[in-house]
Structure 1
Amino acid sequence: MLRATLLLACLLATLPARAQTALDPALLARVRALAETAARAAAPAGTRVVVEVGTLDARLRLAPCQQVQPYLPPGLAMWGKTRIGLRCMEGTARWNVTVPVRVAVFGRAVVAAGPLPAGVNLSQELLAAADIDIAAEPGAVFTDPAQLLGRVLARPVAAAEAVRAPSLKSRQWFAAGETVQVHAVGEGFSVAAEAQALSAGLEGQEVRVRFESGRVASGRAVGERRVELTL
C-alpha cells in the first residue's frame, strides 16, 4: 500500500501544474483600466465604455512570474472583441501571452424602426434612435437620421439594429463623361480645376479623370461632381 502511494506521488509530481486561467484581482484591474483608457480615447463623446476581461487559454503552462506587465498589442483596437497582451518582466522564464477582452461602447445611434429589406429607400418613419453597443459590430453608426434620408440599403437590417455604413449602397456622385471639379491637395497647398470623368464616380472609390491638357490622373469621388486628388 505504501509503495503504491509513493508511486502515485511520483507520478503526480511529474505532471504539469494546472494552468491559471483566471487573472488575480490586481492584474485584472490593471488590464481593465488599460483597455478602458484606450477605448475612451477612441470612443465618441457622451458614450459609456464597459470592459469584460476573459480568461487565459487553459492549455497554457506559464512559469511563475513576480511582475506581469499588461500592454496594448500593436495593430489591435480596443473595440468589440479584442485582446490585451501580458508579458512576464521578472520570473524564472520570460513569457508573452494575450488575454481576450470585450469592449462595449454604449451610445445613441440611428436604428431601424422595424425590419427593413435590402433595396429600401430610407425615410424618417423607417428610422428611430436608441442606446446601443456601437462596438458590437464593424462599421460606423449614424447619430443624425438626416444623414440617412434617401440612402438605399445594400442588405436587410433587423428591427432595432443600427444602420451602419456597410449596410448602405454606395452613392454615385457622377457619371462617366461628366465634367467634375478636381481638388488637388498637397502639403501646404490646394488647387482646383475642371476635368472629365472617365468612369462613374462611386462614393469613396477611385476614379480616373482627364484634364483639358490631356493629362489623366486618378482621384477619389468625394461628393456631387467632386474628385479629390492627393499629391
Structure 2
Amino acid sequence: MRITIFALFLLLTGITDASAKTTADQIEKAASRFLEAFSTQQAEEGYEVTFEAGTVDDRLSLASCEAPLAVEFTGDPWKSTHPSLQVACEGSKPWRMFVTASVSINGPALIAARPLARGERVTSDMLTTQSVVVNASRRGVMRSADDVTGMEVRRPVNRGSVITPDLLAAPDAVERGDHVMITASSGGFSVTSRGKALANASIGEQVLVENLRTARTIRANVVAPGRVEIPM
C-alpha cells in the first residue's frame, strides 16, 4: 500500500526518475536550517528552542530546484510541540511537500505560588516564575506579573499550575447599582452628569446606565472605574 501511495504522489506531481534531482536529504537539511534559524531568533527573546526535523522517505526524489528551498510553519509553533513544515520549490518546476517536526520552546512563565480561589484578585505574591515548555500549552502562558496583577481568578487554580490567559478575567470596573460619572464628548466639548449602572461591566465593555437627572436609560462605554463615556 505504501508503494502505491508513493507512486501516486510521483504521478500527481508530474515527476519522473529522469528529472528527479531534489533528494530527501536535501529536504531534511532545508527543514533543519529553518528550525535552527527559528531557534536563534527565539534565543534573542529569551527562549530556548530544541528541535528535530522529521525524516523524509529516502525514495522520494523531486524536480531540481534552481532557487533555495522555501520552508515555513503551516501552523503556530507556539501552540504545538509537533508543528508541520511546508517545504516548497518556487522555481520553474514548482512543488511543495510537508515535513513533521518536534519543537520545544522553553521559557519563563507565571506559576501559581499557592492555591488560588475563584474570585480572588491577583497580587504579585500569589505568583512565581518558572521555565516551562511554553508551546505545550495550547492556551498560552503569561510572562509578566504586571500584566495580571489586579485581574480576577475565574476558577480555582492549584499550586504549581501554569497561569494561562483563560484563567483570568478583567475585574468589573462598575457594578450594578454603582453611581458613575457619565461623560458625553464631541471634539473639544464635553458634558458630564451623574448616573447609576444597571449591570456589571469591565473596562472596554458597554453597560446600560440610568441618567439620574433625566431618568433616561443610555448605553455607555466603561472607560475607568466609576466612569463611563457616551460617544457623540
TM-score relative to the length of structure 1: 0.58
Q: Deviation digits for residues 182-223 of structure 1, max 9, x if unmatched? A: 67899x98968555433211455443446677583353x454
Letter in 2 for 1:28: S
In structure 1, the residue matched to 2:78 is 79
Superposition map of 1:8-157 within 5 A: 16=6, 20=24, 23-34=27-38, 37=41, 47-50=46-49, 52-55=51-54, 63-66=62-65, 67=67, 68-71=69-72, 77-81=76-80, 82-90=83-91, 92=93, 94-95=95-96, 97=98, 99-100=100-101, 102=103, 104-107=105-108, 109-114=109-114, 116=115, 118-119=117-118, 121=120, 126-137=126-137, 138-144=139-145, 147-148=148-149, 152-157=152-157
Q: Select the residue among 216, 219, 228 that pairs with 1:217.
A: 219
* Unaligned runs of at least 5 residues, structure 2: 10-23
**AA aligned opposite 1:89:** E
The number of residue pairs the alignment matches comes to: 206
Gaps of 5+ in 1: 1-11
Larger displacement relative to structure 2 (158-167 or 125-134): 125-134
- 1:135 and 1:183 map into 2 onto residues whose CA distance is 44
Identity percentage of aligned residues? 15
Partner deviation per Cα, 1:26-68 (whole Å, 9 max, x = no partner): 442124415754x57xxxx86224152543798xx78445242
Secondary structure of the 1:29 match is helix
Going from structure 1 to structure 2, the CA distance change for 1:156 and 1:215 (only over 3 Å counts) comes to closer
Does the 8 Å contact 1:173/1:201 carry over to 2?
Answer: yes
Residues 198 and 97 (structure 1), Cα distance of their counterparts in 2 relative to 1, 3 Å cut:
farther
SS of 1:70 mapped into structure 2: strand
Secondary structure of the residue that 1:119 maps to in structure 2? coil
Structure 2 residue identity aligned to 1:16: F
Change (3 A) 1:191 1:101: farther
The CA deviation at 1:69 is: 0.9
Report the equivalent of 1:176. Answer: 176
What is the TM-score normalised by the length of structure 2? Answer: 0.58
* SS across alignment from 2:103: strand
State whether residues 23 and 55 of structure 1, in contact with CA within 8 Å, keep that contact through their aligned partners in structure 2.
no
Q: Are 2:77 and 2:135, in contact at CA under 8 Å, matched by a contact in 1? A: no
8 Å CA contact 2:79, 2:140 repeated in 1: no
Q: CA RMSD in A?
A: 4.8
Q: 1:110 to 1:230 in 2, by over 3 A?
A: farther
| Residues 193 and 55 (structure 1), Cα distance of their counterparts in 2 relative to 1, 3 Å cut | farther
Give the whole-Å Cα distance in 1 for the aligned partners of 2:157 and 2:77. 26
Question: How far off is 1:98 after superposition?
Answer: 6.4
SS, match of residue 160 in structure 1: coil
